[in-house]
Structure 1
Amino acid sequence: MTALVAVPVLAFCGACGSGDDSAGAGKKDGAIADVPDAPAASAAKGESAPSTRPAGKSAFYDAQMKYVQCMRVKGGYKDFPDPKLSGYLDWAKVNAIGSQPGRNDGIKGGKNGTCVAELQDAMNAEPKRDQQKAYESMLAHAQCMRDHGVSKFANPTMSGGNAQPGGDPDPVSRSIDTESPSYKQARKACEPKLLDGLDGMQ
């Protein structure tokens, strides 16, 4: 399951939040759209009620909500959190759920991969991201993790113009204990190094 989701997640990063240019991107994604006249005011003017989506929401947000709903109904995680207004998942909350005994298996994609299709759709809907800035963000995060005692935390790489997350040097035969108190402390201390949307990547 890890391998299955890891690949789309990396592709996701490449297709990820983008044309917005990193930090600027995150701000752009989360920007609040202009609010149209209130329905009552419009009606008074003889206009029909606006049909726009709620302020700040996007096609990416909608795709993530479908994934979240799948995770709640079919994936085995009734408490899976809503995405942020920007459309990105709130990985602090997702990881908190996954850290509970017996609940990490399936936290990305649902039990038995039942929500992988919805996850992939959300990845495909994510706006493009400045890959150089994504790489620099993950590199700073990897260095921070090592500085906080996770010595085997590997650097990210660039492949085909896309930033590939670092982390455990061998995801198949894990050498980093992500359940250890020291790892969790390092994770919390270094989380601010990652741009919005990258916090679930490495």
Structure 2
Amino acid sequence: MENKLMIKLVVGTEAMFFLSLIMVFVYFSLAPGFVRLQTSELDLRSTGMFSLVLFSSSFTYWRAEKNYHKGNIGMLKLWLIVTFLLGAIFLFGQGKEYIRLFNDHVNLGANTFGTSFFTLTGFHGLHVLVGLIIIAIVTALAVAGDYDEKKSSVISTVGIYWHFVDIVWAVVFFIVYVIPHIR
């Protein structure tokens, strides 16, 4: 039970961290050095599709949790693997967009947009990567039989983190990608 308390504390501090990064992005979006044209460089459609993939991973992780609580370890393993793959596809999409933006001369040092955009989305991507590493470890332990008999809170604890990462992306996606296309 202590691990659930600890992950809630981690999520709480990370929420404040992301709130700060989002506030910086919004502030610099209104700053004199911001080039509005660069928001048009963002690929709403492609990122939207990769975002749906990430949001789907919350569903698949939830299915993994449900199957674990039912004692269906085979389905736990399957849903963990699917969750991992969906998260990896999202990171692939983020990397693909970064490469395209760098080729279009939108980068960290170009201006305040580039700096705040890559800082915010890059730290989120790092959190996805950390989540994928944790899911890979949990999957390996499940395959090794560590979750066959005992009731562990590890699956639910990792779920708290993974769902947090998805919720953060929903907010980031809306602020960074959707709002500029509405204005």
TM-score, normalisation: structure 2: 0.31
Between Structure 1 and Structure 2, the one with more helix by share is: 2
With the length of structure 1 as denominator, give the TM-score of the two structures. Answer: 0.29
